[in-house]
Structure 1
Amino acid sequence: MAKRGYHHGNLRQALVEAALELIREKGPTGFTLSEAAKQAGVTPAAVYRHFAGREDLIAEAARQGYEVFADVMQFAYDSGQPSALAAFEATGRAYLAFARKYPGHYIAMFESGISVNRNPDLAIVAQRARDVLERAASDLSKHIPPEKRPPAAMFSAHIWAMSHGVVELFARNSPGSVSPFPPEELLETGIGVYLRGLGLIPPDN
């Protein structure tokens, strides 16, 4: 591919797209800025006009991922209304769907070691995504007597952790972690067990 220098039409986004492809192929620590530049068709020196280093590039990939993730979660939440239970379950499924459709973004967001507080823009959009799941949890927890009601942040964190575990172990072809059940079924039944424990859905007969 010919080197086009920093006059490349949208170099910043081209570098992000290159990084996402390399992240999918090699992981977040398996490539250099020079490789990202080569993938984008520019000189390594041109990269530094936009990013101070590889971690800044990955942070931008994560930020863009959170933008999509927050929109996906919001759409799932809205689609489940007016039922608080349906909205809550939909956000759990949306987590799994996002991880499958956007693996590069997912890895940059959750497996790169980049803090969501690395820069203000990343922190804001990451919080927006968390707020959607917390709002869904808060809506559903209103059906629990106040004295038995867990904090919405804890409620949503439990489901986030369960969703993340299913993705990591069974939805992204982790070596040696083959499940006899589809990831969607694992997540659905896991959420069901959790909600039954809180008395939010009736027990199986």
Structure 2
Amino acid sequence: MKEKSYHHGNLQTELIEEGLALIHEEGRANFSLRKLAKRVGVSPTACYNHYANADELLIEMKNYVVKKFCAALTVDTAECRMADAAIRMGKAYVNFFAHNPHYFSFIYDNEDYRIDLTNNALDGNFEPFRIFKKTALQCMELNHISKEKQRDNLIIMWATVHGLAAMANMKGFHYAEDWGSLAERLLVTKINLL
């Protein structure tokens, strides 16, 4: 087997991205560093030089996807009016997963995160949810939405964008237009009703 030549650092990103694709195609149960090395075209030793085992790589993959997801949620909201931030963030949420289906299945096909929707807790250890929650609540306060309605509205907003992202990743669903624009239209409609 002819091995690829990488500059220091490039192999780690390649292993993460190809590892995510491999898990998306074959599932976590079939994932191994040896299989990944073969897919990438490097020796297993090259993988083990970066990661001691598959579990270590899986943790790095999770951190990588969550970091990219958080960045996607905030990049389009940084310079907009706060009243529009939740809509832009919802659009970014759906587009992120519509364009990266292997990220969606990797993040949501496990129990590594916790989101509590009970009563007024609305919290969890999933940083993208915290970002979404903070921005959505700020937007609702600017729109004078009562505290009593904020929890349910947040759940509806999250369910809308998460549901669309899930549909964009289901093999039986087809939508020929832009998923993010659909999310934007639905959120604009919902925010006007809040």
TM value normalised by structure 1: 0.69
Q: Identity percentage over the alignment?
A: 23
Higher relative contact order (CA 8 A, sep 6+): 2
- 1:201 maps to none
For residues 14-53 of structure 1, what are the structure 2 equivalents within 5 Å?
Answer: 14-44=14-44, 47-51=47-51, 53=53
- 1:202 maps to none
- 2:112 maps to 115
Q: Which secondary structure does the structure 1 equivalent of 2:174 belong to?
A: coil
Gap runs ≥5 in structure 1: 118-122, 199-205
| Residues 1:13 and 2:13 are matched in the alignment | yes
Q: Which secondary structure does the structure 2 equivalent of 1:80 belong to?
A: coil
Report the count of equivalent residues.
183
| Residues 1:194 and 2:190 are matched in the alignment | yes
Residues 130 and 28 (structure 1), Cα distance of their counterparts in 2 relative to 1, 3 Å cut? same
In structure 2, distance between residues paired with 1:14 and 1:182: 28
- 1:203 maps to none
Shift of residue 103 of structure 1? 3.0
In structure 1, distance between residues paired with 2:100 and 2:70: 13
In structure 1, distance between residues paired with 2:2 and 2:40: 10
In structure 1, distance between residues paired with 2:57 and 2:27: 14
Gap runs ≥5 in structure 2: 115-123
Residues 176 and 102 (structure 1), Cα distance of their counterparts in 2 relative to 1, 3 Å cut? closer
Residues 159 and 145 (structure 1), Cα distance of their counterparts in 2 relative to 1, 3 Å cut? closer
- 1:175 maps to 171
For residues 55-204 of structure 1, what are the structure 2 equivalents within 5 Å?
Answer: 55-81=55-81, 83-84=82-83, 86-111=84-109, 113=110, 115-116=112-113, 126-127=126-127, 129-142=128-141, 143-146=143-146, 148-151=148-151, 155-169=153-167, 171-172=168-169, 174-179=170-175, 183-198=179-194
2:95–2:180: 8 Å Cα contact kept in structure 1?
no
